[in-house]
Structure 1
Amino acid sequence: MSISSLLASALAKRQPFLTDTKLNKTNCFRVFHGTVEGHKGLNIDRYGDAWLIQTFHHTLTQDEFNTIEGLLVELAHLPIVYNDRSDKNSRVVNTLESKTDEFAQSTQVILENGIKFTSKLRHEGQDPLLFLDMRIGREYVNANSKHKTVLNLFSYTCGIGTAAAVGGAKRVTNIDFSSFALEAGRKNAELNGVDDICQFIQSDAFPALRQLAGLKVAGRRNQKLPSYPKMTATQFELVFLDPPRFAKSAFGTVDLINDYQGLFKPAMLATKKGGTIVCCNNVAKVDRHMWFDSLVRCVEKQGRKITHHSWLHCHEDFPSFDDNHPLKIVALTLG
């Protein structure tokens, strides 16, 4: 099928969803989701007052771009930014047209369920500062954080932390290694008037988590440890754990395929009895049920138990094959 037919079909399927976004004060969502909807590596999103087209495998031809532009303009006449990320490491390789250059590189304010977030469609990083498929996670913490202490790990731009604070959290601690991401997080908190509730700590996740869990901070293969913020052992009523697929530091290795437990164990120990830890794994090859079973075993090895669990499923603007979305999110209530 042509791109025109595929995009028209995707938009038709989303009509009820698009109607709901207006009622829910949401202007950031996906309208075309790559291979699942028939075109490998092509994602099309709305971010507030702009359309963002991204390609991850093949560069669009001019005719293909013109076709997409025509359909999007019919839906909403907004500026269109194209990021061609088909090169290695998903880095943007194309230059911007002069008419979109300034807009794409400026900070915009977008809305999700009435909560304000900053967005930047082209910047020194790779992503537009808010992952749209994590909407369900932000909705969960917003609905389940009232009067609670919240720990937001690998917080990126603190979308989860901001949603928790807007939802009435007593205190939110956001931890991320990137000062750039945390600065965007501060702006998000300020936009919503919750900056007095939110704390922003720039730290490698391993020493932060191990200190909060009351464990000794150790290095990888006895490497000399760089400096890190000192923290006291603390338990939280809601913990959100959303690590990247793979990362290395002097303190340890993040590996969602082979060693999720290396992060999950201290995060679980930093969760109060009766509290909830929300776990995320975005690796498609990781089997949902095997991953869940490994979490259960880890909890039981620490003499604790899971008293309740619920799966959080991505919204319909992120369709998946056989309802098996690569992003897996489960909320575990711990005894």
Structure 2
Amino acid sequence: MMNPDALSTFFAVIAERLPACGNEVRRVFHGRGRCYEGLEQITADWLGSGVLQIAIFKEDEAAFYGALKQGITEFQHGDVWKEVGGNTIVVQHRDREGAETETFVGEQPQQINVVENGLTYKLDLGKRQNNGLFLDMRLGREWVQNNAKHKRVLNLFAYTCGFSVAAIEGKADQVVNLDMARSSLSRGRENHQLNQHNLNQVAFLGHELFKSWGKVKKYGPYDLVIIDPPSFQKGSFVLTKDYAKILRRLPELVVEGGDVLACVNSPDIQPSFLTEQMVECAPAFEFVSRLDNPPEFEDIDADSALKVMHFRHSAR
């Protein structure tokens, strides 16, 4: 259980971080990194346009919810909320089936356009568990934008195509997005359009990966491959079992000197999982570095946090 008395720290951290966000989307409190005792199951994201979204991940006692409601009431009347132009505070209940969203201040928009690193993405609020952009991958998207110039990019498990948007903005020649959820790819198309990108440079493949290697190879070979899978996707992907199947295909997909970003976001999987699997399944790919995570996603154990590992296809 979380500690209602610790909520003073929760709101103090948010108040300290909000003014620096401007209109950019940003995590402003990350309890799940276990750096704040008594607040391990709560986060807060500033979405810009005056919207603060709080999320609770595990059911708690009535006293905590009461204290949170009181804290929100006090916070909305404070100087920082006025300074940043705040108008809406919602609480997403990831602690309840359906992940329902409560509106505590203002009116909840069903959709909102957010800005990250100057790029625009459309998010859904109150409809589903994930709103359309994983904020802990901010520096990963920035790395892709900075390293995509004149490259052919393959974006596996593309979701709403955040990496693709970053790559095209970074002047990639071509991006191929693959995801079995066609609705996510449709949102990815919208995200590109929001940024006035040329869709002739972007392909959207709504297929299950392991049945579609022929289609994927047809667009290659690639200078950069991004692998950012879910830990578990019923009937299609189990990370610990299926990641190796992707890595074994890399030599035929990636040009010599090409790059791979291999990602894992399961707290139970160590970084060594990826480096060891790469040695076993694709030994021509050398480990270069692990990308930093955004500082706002502080974690008591770095190996439990998001792992974004950079490998390069060495010429031998």
Give the TM-score taking structure 1 as reference length. Answer: 0.81
Contact 2:53-2:92 at 8 Å conserved across structures: yes
- Residue 162 of structure 2 aligns to which amino acid in structure 1? G
SS in 2 for 1:333: strand
SS in 1 for 2:168: helix
- The C-alpha deviation readout for 1:13-39, integer Å capped at 9, x for no partner, is 748xx63x44xxx61111111242231
Contact 2:278-2:285 at 8 Å conserved across structures: no
Distance 1:69 1:116, change over 3 A: farther
Alpha-carbon shift at residue 210 of structure 1 (Å)? 5.6
Give the match for residue 216 of structure 1: none
Contact 2:168-2:174 at 8 Å conserved across structures: yes
Contact 2:26-2:135 at 8 Å conserved across structures: yes
Shifted more, 128-137 versus 195-204: the winner is 195-204
Contact 1:153-1:175 at 8 Å conserved across structures: yes
Q: CA RMSD in A?
A: 2.4
**What pairs up with 1:44-55 in 2 under 5 angstroms?**
44-49=44-49, 50-55=51-56
CA–CA distance in structure 2, aligned partners of residues 138 and 3 of structure 1:
33
Give the match for residue 233 of structure 2: 247
Among all aligned residue pairs of Structure 1 and Structure 2, give the percentage whose two residues are the same amino acid: 28
Distance 1:65 1:296, change over 3 A: farther
**What pairs up with 1:68-87 in 2 under 5 angstroms?**
68-71=72-75, 74-75=80-81, 76=84, 77-87=86-96
- The C-alpha deviation readout for 1:49-78, integer Å capped at 9, x for no partner, is 211111110255133123045336634323
CA–CA distance in structure 1, aligned partners of residues 73 and 139 of structure 2:
29
Give the match for residue 257 of structure 1: 240
CA–CA distance in structure 1, aligned partners of residues 54 and 172 of structure 2:
35
Q: 2:194 aligns with which of 171, 186, 191?
A: 191
**What pairs up with 1:279-290 in 2 under 5 angstroms?**
279-290=262-273
CA–CA distance in structure 1, aligned partners of residues 116 and 161 of structure 2:
14
Contact 1:276-1:331 at 8 Å conserved across structures: yes
SS in 2 for 1:321: coil
Distance 1:78 1:265, change over 3 A: farther
CA–CA distance in structure 1, aligned partners of residues 101 and 142 of structure 2:
34
Contact 1:210-1:266 at 8 Å conserved across structures: no
Q: 2:254 aligns with which of 267, 271, 275?
A: 271
Alpha-carbon shift at residue 99 of structure 1 (Å)? 5.0
Distance 1:84 1:148, change over 3 A: same
Give the match for residue 203 of structure 1: 207
Asked if residue 158 in structure 1 is aligned to residue 161 in structure 2, the reply is: yes
Gaps of 5+ in 1: 214-231
Give the match for residue 131 of structure 2: 128
Contact 1:34-1:40 at 8 Å conserved across structures: yes
Q: 2:180 aligns with which of 177, 180, 183?
A: 177
- The C-alpha deviation readout for 1:274-325, integer Å capped at 9, x for no partner, is 110100011111121243122222112xxx242x512112111101114334
**What pairs up with 1:6-85 in 2 under 5 angstroms?**
6-11=9-14, 14=17, 19=20, 21-22=21-22, 27-35=24-32, 36=34, 37-38=36-37, 39-49=39-49, 50-58=51-59, 61-71=65-75, 74-75=80-81, 76=84, 77-85=86-94
Give the match for residue 143 of structure 1: 146
> For this pair of structures, how many residues does the alignment match?
298
SS in 1 for 2:282: helix
- Residue 294 of structure 1 aligns to which amino acid in structure 2? Q
SS in 1 for 2:255: strand
Asked if residue 92 in structure 1 is aligned to residue 103 in structure 2, the reply is: no
Give the match for residue 312 of structure 1: 291
Distance 1:289 1:198, change over 3 A: same
Contact 2:89-2:106 at 8 Å conserved across structures: no
